Structure 1
Amino acid sequence: MRQIGYARVSTADQNLALQNAALEASGCSYIHADQGISGADFERPGLTAALEDLRAGDMLVVWRLDRLGRSLIDLIRLVTELGERQIEFRSLSEAIDTSSSGGRLLFHLLAAMAEFERSLISERTKAGMSAARARGSQIGRRPAMSEEQRHEARLAIEDGSVSVEAVAKRYNIHPRTLLRTLKSTPVH
């Protein structure tokens, strides 16, 4: 099994030496790295190169989970995608190794916790929106035009005296927004 390492530090001042030494000691044949790139950013050249380098039967190795990314949901997604490609994952500090039954169990527990967190966030969001509606708050984007403006715009466009672009400019909206608004508004 080929082991490909990935190391990352957030600032250009930080040093990759500790991570590289640990990855080399664990048996990584090659180490890809990103320096000065946040873990919140999943568009990283070193990570992209590591993922492209990996083949079925290989293992991606990181020093710590937070080197791969900050969001548990993104980490779960990435490790799941690796599994679908028949690539194992190992985090040295957390002792997660998906090639072992205990490592797979720990990973699945993390995945279940991430799914639970997503569900809680969704439930809280829906409850907050319901409470706001009950208080009379409008949820979502405000209408681009009032009912009166929509009526005036429709009349102007239908009698051909003004172009859609001119009417949109008058109400400070994009022509597509005007057409979409008029299309979704019933004719009185």
Structure 2
Amino acid sequence: MAEPAGPFHLLRARTGRFLCYCGRDGAVYVTDAVEVWAGELGACLALGCRCSPEEHGAMLRAALGHGGAALSLGPGSATLRLPEEPRCPALALAQLPAAEARSQLQALIFGMAGRIESLERRLEVAVETLASSCSPEKNAVQSQQLFLPDPSPRKSRASSSALPAKRKVPGESLINPGFKSKKVSSGVNFEDS
């Protein structure tokens, strides 16, 4: 039972979705959560391919990372194709027997559950660290700054200097500031209409 080492990538094929991952034993695994196919890194289908498992693992991770891998299934086997990699264009995968597939799926599920548990613990520690690094007074001031509107609408938030508010001068036009009316406004006369 090989522990999964990751990274984990989802592959889509005509028949559905598959999870592809690397094991700590240097093998590549593909599963649809019912059946499991496995192949050794460096065991390429291309004749004359002499990739080391490290080189092939890097190529596989790169191809899976940007969606450049394709899976084709056959009876009892599968082929993981890496069309963008001319040195190792494909990896042969053999279908595991039912008992071995069951133990591999069990290792995958518990391995992923362990990773999730570890990530949750690390997240809790990070949240506690962030919460303790800010004092309650700082938190209250920051939350007020985030949710309360600025009390001075004329003050520009982007600039550090605030412009003084312009005063309205009696008789000055609202549409054309700086222009003073020559006659005193007397209001609207509705009787002449």
The structure carrying a bigger helix percent of its residues is 1
Question: TM-score normalized by structure 2?
Answer: 0.31
The structure carrying a bigger strand percent of its residues is 2
Question: TM-score normalized by structure 1?
Answer: 0.32
Structure ID, larger Rg: 2
